[in-house]
Amino acid sequence: EPIETKRLTKSGEMIDISLGLSPILDGRGNLLGVASISRDVSKRIAVEEQLARYREHLEKLVEERTAELNRSQEQLRRSERMASIGALAAGIAHEINNPVGAMLLAAQNAQERSRTLTEVEEARQLLERVAEKVITNAKRCGQIVKGVLQFARQEVTEKWPNDVNTVVRGSLQLVGESVRKRGTIIETDLADGLPTATLNPIEIEQVLINLIDNAINASGEGQRIGVRTRLVAEMIELSVADEGAGMTAEEQQRIFDPFFTTRIQKGGTGLGLSIVHGIVEGHGGSITVESHLHQGTVFRILLPLAGDGGGLSPAEKLNGAGEE
């Protein structure tokens, strides 16, 4: 193997050489001497050294650019976190809007009625109805905020056997004013004699209100929204169908992703359906979507039936129900 070393030339210049040594043997294999071949490799060495400097320089540049990229990514993550906080706040405001609207409507109706009331008893009854509606919806606001926090923390909410049709009817009452304002038509097909399902009625109301509200926003005046319940393979199916704009296949794949919305220009937050998805899964159920552009959308929810004994409602727990 040639060895590389340095030699001083006659002119006093130090150069790099490649020195190869070969033995000179006689016919009997005896060593007579050594032949040396030297070759000036200064240019190659210089090129290699220059390439090494370039490589070191490039590595330093890559390190600097990587650090800059990491800083930019961290800034982007901070921006995304701020945007997420804003979207979350908007989503909670959107969820609370329905019960707050119901309270406002009750107060406005009471104000208008009070101008024509003459009997004390009639006024008392009106006040009771308004107070009951305000209290119910104020509690609902608190439950919605609690539900969002539980969803964010992945906490398990309290559930007990409930009649699904009763929950559906309560949800329809809460969205009644929105339906009237948009001129849409709600058609219900609620199966008789359904077994109970173990659920949290406030959360399932929230699910239905979200789905119906989305259907209203996707529909035009005079279009129908169908709400249906039925028993399917030992599960209760809840469906909300509209005749609205529909969605593309790509939109359907992402519809339950947090912060994904098809209504960004109209103030959509993209949180409603992700919360819906989390609530349904938290009930041991499933939710699917089927949609066709310009033909409408159907959301189908499957909820498990109440098991033997089921759970106890908060009222039953307070009354000591189920104790031996």
Whether residue 202 contacts residue 157, with contact meaning beta carbons closer than 8 Å, is answered with no
Q: Which of 132-136, 145-149, 169-173 has the lowest mean pLDDT?
A: 145-149
| CA geometry: angle 282, 283, 287, nearest 5 deg | 85
Q: Which residues contact 29 (CB under 8 A, 6 or more apart)?
A: none
Per DSSP (E only), the strands in 200-308 are 224-232, 235-242, 286-292, 296-304
Say if 309 falls within a structural domain: no
Number of domains in the chain: 3
Asked if 172 and 230 sit in the same domain, the reply is: yes
The verdict on 289 and 178 lying in the same domain is yes
Residues 227 and 164 in one domain: yes
The band of 299, judged by pLDDT with boundaries at 50, 70 and 90, is very high
Separation of alpha carbons 241 and 301, rounded Å: 12
What are 283-292's pLDDT values in tens digits?
A: 999 999 999 9
Range of the domain at 283: 160-304
CB-count burial class (<10 Å; 0-12, 13-18, 19+) for 68 = exposed
Instruction: With respect to residue 65, please indicate whether it lies within any of the assigned structural domains.
Output: no
In a domain, 45, yes or no: no
**Alpha helices, H only, 187-258:** 201-218, 249-254
Average pLDDT over residues 240-262: 85
Token pair, residue 263, equals 């209504």
Rounded to whole angstroms, the Cα distance separating 97 from 220 reads 21
Q: What is the mean pLDDT of residues 184-208?
A: 94
Tell me the pLDDT band of 318, cut-offs 50, 70 and 90: very low
Q: Is residue 211 part of a domain?
A: yes
Closest by alpha carbon to 212, among 167, 159, 250? Answer: 167
Q: What would the pLDDT profile of 186-195 be if each residue is shown by its tens digit?
A: 999 999 999 9
In DSSP terms, which residues pair with 37 in a beta bridge? 20
Q: What are 38's two structure tokens? A: 């030297």
Q: Are residues 201 and 234 in the same domain?
A: yes
Residue 47 lies in a domain: no
pLDDT greater at residue 145 or residue 227: 227
Domain boundary among 91, 124, 153: 153
